[in-house]
Structure 1
Amino acid sequence: MSHRANYATLYMGVQLAPEGRSLALDWATNVGDLTEPYEFEVPTDDARDAYVGLQAFDVGDYGHEIEVNGEPLAGFDIPPNDGWQYWVDTLTDVDLHAGTNSVRIRRDADSRDAFAVGTVTIHWKEPVDG
């Protein structure tokens, strides 16, 4: 069976920060410790080799989580980096399913770190008919 690549791109434009702390970003909405679930559609129950790409700004600490369908990804999800970074993480122990899926970002509430997320892209392979 042949497969093709597919993806969903989601613009978040959010800042995750503890109360009383924020970055001076006019493009990012402050959401506290947790983003809302951003939904995307997957057209198959046979999605495989999935990974997420995350555009993040000024991450200062380890410990923040990327959650897909309510489940955190394995390992550390967003490494520290000054300024902009594009981080890719595989979806291990988390499955995509046909229909509506979701992704959200959770800030480590034990940290004083403030950071922002621009665009998130979820990639997967799916079977091609014929």
Structure 2
Amino acid sequence: MSYRANYALVNVSSHLGQKKDAIDVPWADFVGDSTPEFEFEVPTSDAVDAYVGLQAFGVDEFGHELVVNDEALGGFDVPPGTGWQYWEDAITDSALVAGTNTLKFARDTDTPDSFAVNNVTVHWREPITEGEE
């Protein structure tokens, strides 16, 4: 079976933290401890090898979660980094489904951390059907 790569770009543009003025990110909406759920579409029920790539700013702690389809990803979802960083994480504990999928970020409320998330790209491979090759 042959596969092709596909993706969905999700613009999160959110500032997570205890105080709105903790970091200077005027392009981001202050959301407190959790972003709203963002939706993206997957056109196949056979998505495999899924992962996310995300842009984050000012992350100081390890405990923050990225939740896909109501399941937190394993490992370090948004690791610490000075300034801007780009991070990738495999989607292993939850599966992408055909149609509408969701993602959201949850801040570790046991920390005083304040950070921003901009774009998230969800990647997967999907089978190429007969005649598309």
TM-score, scaled to structure 2: 0.94
For structure 2, the 5+ residue unaligned runs are none
Structure 1 ranges of 4+ moved more than 3 A: none
3-state SS of paired residue (2:35): coil
Identity among equivalent positions (%) equals 54
- How far the C-alpha of 1:76 sits from its partner, in A, is 1.5
Aligned residue in 2 for 1:89: 89
The answer to whether the 8 Å contact 2:40/2:101 transfers is yes
Write the letter of the residue equivalent to 2:48: R
Aligned residues: 130
CA RMSD of aligned residues (A): 1.0
TM-score, scaled to structure 1: 0.97
- How far the C-alpha of 1:62 sits from its partner, in A, is 0.5
CA distance in 2, matches of 1:91, 1:12: 18
Indicate yes or no: 2:28 matched with 1:47.
no
3-state SS of paired residue (2:61): coil
Matches within 5 A, 1:47-86: 47-86=47-86
Aligned residue in 2 for 1:113: 113
Write the letter of the residue equivalent to 2:9: T
The answer to whether the 8 Å contact 2:54/2:87 transfers is yes
Matches within 5 A, 1:14-53: 14-19=14-19, 22-53=22-53
Name the structure with the higher strand share: 1
